[in-house]
Amino acid sequence: MSACAFALCGVLSIAPPAFYDHPAIGWKIDVVEMPLAELQKTCLGVRSISKNEMVLGCEADFAPHRYAKVFLPNDVDPITRWSALRHEIAHINGWPAEHPQ
């Protein structure tokens, strides 16, 4: 497992650094979509974060198997959704949970 071991919840205002901002080549990624309200509970369930934090995505990766699950909202605008996916893929690429730039 990577540094973002079981799950990481994305604060989407944070764009990933260029080093991690690329496709996760060689990974199988399943995208699980759900309404934003449901996503809050799903992501809060896998990582303890502040309930005041707005979560737009999270991921669980299993690095030895190069398999990841990305959880995204299906009731937001396409740009927000895309930003969330990009953020979570950067975590799959090894971007640590603390979001260092």
- Residues of the shown chain interacting with Zn ion in the complex, contacts defined by CB under 5 A: 8, 10
57: closest CA among 3, 13, 101?
Answer: 13
State how far the Cα of 3 lies from the Cα of 63, in Å rounded to an integer. Answer: 10
CB-nearer residue toward Zn ion: 12 or 67: 12
CB of 10 to Zn ion, least distance (A): 4
CB-nearer residue toward Zn ion: 8 or 89: 8
CB of 78 to Zn ion, least distance (A): 20
Whether the CB-CB separation of 15 and 59 falls below 8 Å is answered with: no
CB of 93 to Zn ion, least distance (A): 12
State how far the Cα of 20 lies from the Cα of 94, in Å rounded to an integer. Answer: 7
